[in-house]
Amino acid sequence: MAETLLPVANPDKLEQGFSSYGAMTSSTKGIPSVLLSDAKHWYRPDIDGLRAVAVLAVIIYHMNESWLPGGFTGVDIFFVISGYVVSGSVLRHSNLSVLDCFVGFYARRAKRIAPTLVTVTVVTGLLMAVMLPAHTSMLSQHFLAGSWGTLGLGNHFLAMQEAGYWDSTVSEDLDPFLHLWSLGVEEQFYLIFPFVTLMAYGTKHSAFHAGGEDTSCALRSVTVWGMGIIASMIAALVLMGYDEKLAFYTLPSRFWELASGALLFDTQPAWSKVLTDTGTHRNTLRGAHLVLQLGAFVLIGFSLTCTSTSGFPAPGAWMPVLGAVFYIMAGVSPQSQLNQFMSRDLIVRMGQISYTLYLWHWPVLCLMSLVHDRGSLAYFASSCAGFTVASVLTYNSVERFFRSWRPQRQSTVFILLSVSLGSSAFLLHKLGSPAVLGRFYLAEVPGDHLGALSGGKLMNGGHGNCECSLPGAGANASSDRACFKYNMDPAILAPDLQDVTYCDARGNDSEARLHECTAPDPNAEHDAMPTLYLFGDSHAGHLVPGLGQAAQGKFHFRWYHRSAKGFEDPAYFVRVRDMLEMQLRPGDVVSVSHAWWVPPLRHGQELHSLVSARHASLLLLGDTWCTEWDVDFNYDFECSPTLFLPKRIIRRSAISRGVR
């Protein structure tokens, strides 16, 4: 993904493009005019067109994998392009000394990758800090993933986690930095690439300028890259049987994909001559061009639409890799209609910003899911608008600026960008640390509101250690220490409470009970006192004494007890919704709490719309923060539950009305 740009002679136009082999030579002899913008500048717009297809495929897959089941293979296409491009980046400077060539290569890579990466990770981290509460599942891990990803090690961090890539893209606990794994693979490839090139060409790497006439040098290059590809494919197959996450995320099993692009470039003097040789029989040339175009179209198309998630990267990635190779080979000829089509202006422009699009799309999709239901029209529209605008702004204000930056000393590049990357990684690490996590969450309800609601006793009852429980709570515990209550009846939880209605919708007859206690109250509309509703599971039981006490004389308190599935059960939500539509009144408060519940609340948007339309309030209460627990229910809780806004659009004023 990082290889969207390749520096060439004209920084304002051609760095966003792609250098063909002809650009590396001292003349344009034998290079088709389709690859040339003029005698000094070389650019293949069809490569940017392929980038556009790859990044769009990944975006569509991340938005809804059923739309393009194999969209994730866009990353494999990027890997081939990157290997092809960086070969040109090194070899077009092969007239320099080895040291100058290497230093220049790393400086160019740093300028292309680091500024945009720092911008995206810092902005994403700050938005996470203000939009997500501390108790959001895996939040600290997500910050840590961003820290590692900023340093180019995101793939190794993810390989050590329990969940694999396929689990992480569909999880409710979306990691905004998940996509940095592929950037880590590419960066690690760039680190070793100059040394592999040195092995292939030795100190005579300038032989490439001879247009491939040095046969021994060409054979050496093919041998080195070929052996690397074979070794990498073997490593991928072995790792697939040992640990699929390691195989998916790490460079040894992905090296062959990038090396395929590098080998393609190194051998271009030979195969491009064959494909553009006017002395070859016309029908033979047409047949070769047709095979390459058809092969590219079928292989890439099949990969994007029909690929299974099993067997990646080996052998599953061979189709998109081979399709990308065929496409690049076909593009050396002006007769390739496929490549000509992919060179259209709109497609090319999208390819030129593919790096920023790739970096922005996933964080925006993750953060927009805090505002809209995933799968809703509002979610897709706002996400597309968000990452498109962010990509265009970043490309024009950050990427192009650093692309044209030409410091007198290369050390300036390394110092500035190293400090920027290190500082960004440190910032993300600190945001995820226990001392800072959740402190910048803008939607947190102030402590005085929490105290006013609970009377300081929100923990009393169902869960928590005995020091946090009401007198006598231990009588219903499973041990002397544990205060896990299986009977959530307020008469037992808090016998002193008055005006409390309990609906127990569990057990074999839960449907009958649910129907009974969700039947609208015919007297509700004539009652002047508002109602406080609590919907939750057994973990919500620890809120009953505190909420019930706060409601005394101010609210009717109705406690609806359902198993942990809660609103994940559509039938249950429909019953609750119908009941609320019938009897919810201005001033009522609807509160929800479930075990280990974190945003997003299922059906939250619909529930919020209903509550807002009735001028009532919606209150979401987090589960207790459990630091230790075992199979004997010996809990050690911090005695302070988290009260936070839903992931969606609940306003602070709505919460304030509910806690007065």
| 299-350 per-position pLDDT tens digit | 999 999 986 778 889 888 999 999 999 999 999 888 789 999 999 999 999 9
213 exposure class (CB count in 10 Å sphere: 0-12, 13-18, 19+): exposed
What is the predicted pLDDT for the residue at 298?
95
* Domains along the sequence of the chain with CATH: 45-435 (no CATH), 531-621 (3.40.50.1110)
Half-sphere exposure of residue 655: CA atoms within 13 angstroms, side-chain side: 21
CB 475 within 8 A of CB 469: no
Tell which phi-psi region holds residue 97, choosing left (phi > 0), alpha (psi between -120 and 50) or beta. beta
What is the predicted pLDDT for the residue at 260?
96
What is the predicted pLDDT for the residue at 75?
97
What is the predicted pLDDT for the residue at 491?
60
Half-sphere exposure of residue 404: CA atoms within 13 angstroms, side-chain side: 11
What is the predicted pLDDT for the residue at 509?
54
How do 531-536 and 617-620 pair as beta strands?
A: unpaired
What is the predicted pLDDT for the residue at 463?
35
pLDDT along the chain (660 residues), means of 10: 38 35 32 34 84 97 93 96 89 72 88 96 95 77 95 95 76 84 97 89 54 65 93 95 92 97 90 77 81 95 85 90 96 88 95 97 93 86 96 96 88 91 96 86 45 32 32 33 43 64 67 68 68 81 72 82 72 84 85 62 74 80 44 32 31 29
CA distance 61 to 58: 5
What is the predicted pLDDT for the residue at 71?
95
Q: DSSP class of residue 568?
A: G
Instruction: Please write the tens of the pLDDT for every residue from 47-76.
Output: 999 999 999 999 999 999 999 999 999 999
CA distance 215 to 267: 11
- Number of residues that this document lists for the chain: 660
Torsions phi, psi for 275 (to 5 deg):
-75, -15
What is the predicted pLDDT for the residue at 209?
43
Q: How far is CA 466 from CA 485, 505, 639, in A?
A: 12, 27, 10
What is the predicted pLDDT for the residue at 575?
83
What is the predicted pLDDT for the residue at 193?
93
What is the predicted pLDDT for the residue at 489?
59
What is the predicted pLDDT for the residue at 185?
97
